[in-house]
Chain A
Amino acid sequence: MTHVTSLRCKECSREYPVGAFNVCEFCFGPLEVRYDLDAIKEAVSRESIAAGPNSLWRYADFLPADHNPDVDINAGFTPLIRSKGLADKFGLEELWIKNDSVNPSYSFKDRVVAVASAKALELGFDTLACASTGNLACAVAAHAARGNMKAYVFIPSDLEAGKVLGAAIYGPTMIAIDGTYDDVNRLCSELADTYPWAFVNINIRPFYADGSKTLGFEVAEQLGWRAPAHVVAPSASGAMFTKIFQGFNEFAYTGLIGKVETKMHCVQARGCSPIATAYEEGRLIIRPVRANTIAKSLGIGNPADGYYALKVIEASGGSAVIAEEHEVAEGIKLLAEADGIFTEGAGGVAVAGLRRLVERGTIKPDEPTVLYITGNGLKTTEVVADVVHPIHIEPTVAAFQDAIGARA
């Protein structure tokens, strides 16, 4: 059962009953879910969690929706792998990789949509919707298919068709909007106000966002019930980044782990770095930008949770770093070659950020560090297309031996 008490404005702290809305009607601040953490503390133990399902629903007591098998595609509880290759290259003694690229629709968005779709059914919705250029669309369409819900996915009409194949395969109604990025934003806002749909990242955003807490819970459990010294995570809207930290702290409050001393490091690509730029300039005001990065899954120029991500950096003693655009593909290749994990652009950004943090001495060799890999490389193969250069030979053993220069 959930232990939700209310929704609360993150700015003015006004409280609201649980429902499908995400904005404080007084100050237009974003709403977040409040929980009775003392009741959760009574309800859970390490043993009860360990006995739960091998999915994010093992943490159901900390989530705003009950587990509903009808819409569950087994998101979460992805591998936490101890790095050898990347750790050696960067001179780190204890580097862990949270490989969230192996979720059912191949990104961490399955976590947020798993929670959003379960909550949508609880609230009586029969339709999921989103505006997305990639991973979110896939997760929404997949969960809707599983839950026998209708799905509407809105995309900019200039988006390459192949980008949304991973969503289209699940059979949603896909609407391509003629207009600018701003036009798409505005239309979706209006539609969310007009139609009785669960727009996952709009009217049910408070619940949706909390799915990312499980990225903190899982890492803490998989590390043997402790939080790491450092987290390095890519950031777009800033929501996932803040929720990882919230996850660690909720585990600490409920006695499942000790005091959280994790330094949270956010990484963005040069072509879309509003959070990292604000950090570097020493201010808490985000200056929105036009996204222009090869790391498409980080392309949010006006990040809804950017300010809160900066507050998490401040509270945790962490930092924000910028990966140069040319480092994105390098990072993808490095992770693949060093540890056998093929990630998309966001992962390349994270790897580049980790390298910078080590070079700067921010992360010391003996400090346990977790690198979050949030999406799968097979979604963005064009970024690293130059790796394909096979050796052509005639179909004879001699030709093969000639080619590789080694005779038996």
Chain B
Amino acid sequence: MQRVRLTFLDRLIKEPVVYQLGKKFDIVTNIRRADIQEGIGWVILELEGEDAEIDRGLEWARTVGVRVDPALGDLVEP
């Protein structure tokens, strides 16, 4: 299981990225929180599946331009 935050900009807001994550990959997506405003939006997701499959799915998301981050912010602190 992974908790991630996806950030979408501009055109990607209209794209069904979360749907495609579950369709293209063997991943169960569960939206826990989200906020979409003009020009930017984010969604916090719980992802269930094999680690390697989740990695592939998130890599695909990055390639289409989605920013992928840990759900709770960076854990590596200065």
Contact A28 B72 (CB under 8 A): yes
Q: What mask results when residues 89 to 132 of chain A are scored 1 for a CB within 8 Å of chain B, else 0?
A: 00000000000000000000000000000000000000000111
Chain A residues with CB below 8 A from B72, complex form: 22-23, 28, 30, 202, 304
Interface of B toward A, CB cutoff 8 Å? 2-3, 5, 7, 9, 32-33, 35, 37, 40-42, 44, 46, 67-78
Q: Answer whether residue A189 sits at the interface, using C-beta atoms and an 8 A cutoff.
A: yes
Contact B75 A188 (CB under 8 A): yes
Contact B9 A28 (CB under 8 A): no
Additional 14 contacts, C-beta under 8 A, given A27-B44, A288-B5: A28-B33, A135-B77, A136-B77, A136-B78, A181-B74, A185-B70, A185-B75, A185-B76, A283-B40, A287-B7, A287-B40, A302-B5, A304-B73, A305-B73
Give the interface size class of chain A.
Answer: 35 or more
- Whole-angstrom distance between the Cβ of A267 and the nearest chain B Cβ: 15
Nearest-neighbor residue (CB-CB) of A26 within chain B: B32
Nearest-neighbor residue (CB-CB) of B41 within chain A: A285
Which of A28, A185, A306: most chain B CB closer than 10 A? A28
Q: Answer whether residue A29 sits at the interface, using C-beta atoms and an 8 A cutoff.
A: yes
Q: Answer whether residue A236 sits at the interface, using C-beta atoms and an 8 A cutoff.
A: yes
Interface residues of A in 370-401 (CB under 8 A from B): none
Task: Known A27-B32, A283-B37; judge A131-B77 contact (CB<8 A).
Answer: yes
Chain A residues with CB below 8 A from B73, complex form: 237, 300, 302-306
Partner of A28, one of B32, B37, B40: B32
Contact A302 B69 (CB under 8 A): yes
Which of A182, A192, A303: most chain B CB closer than 10 A? A182
Task: Known A283-B37, A283-B40; judge A236-B77 contact (CB<8 A).
Answer: yes
Q: What mask results when residues 41 to 77 of chain A are scored 1 for a CB within 8 Å of chain B, else 0?
A: 0000000000000000000000000000000000000
Which of A300, A302, A303: most chain B CB closer than 10 A? A302
Chain B residues with CB below 8 A from A11, complex form: 33
- Whole-angstrom distance between the Cβ of B56 and the nearest chain A Cβ: 15
Chain B residues with CB below 8 A from A188, complex form: 75-76
- Whole-angstrom distance between the Cβ of B77 and the nearest chain A Cβ: 4
A131 to B76, CA, bound (A): 5
A185 to B74, CA, bound (A): 6
A182 to B4, CA, bound (A): 11
Nearest-neighbor residue (CB-CB) of A136 within chain B: B77
Chain B residues with CB below 8 A from A296, complex form: 78
Q: What mask results when residues 224 to 239 of chain A are scored 1 for a CB within 8 Å of chain B, else 0?
A: 0000000000001100
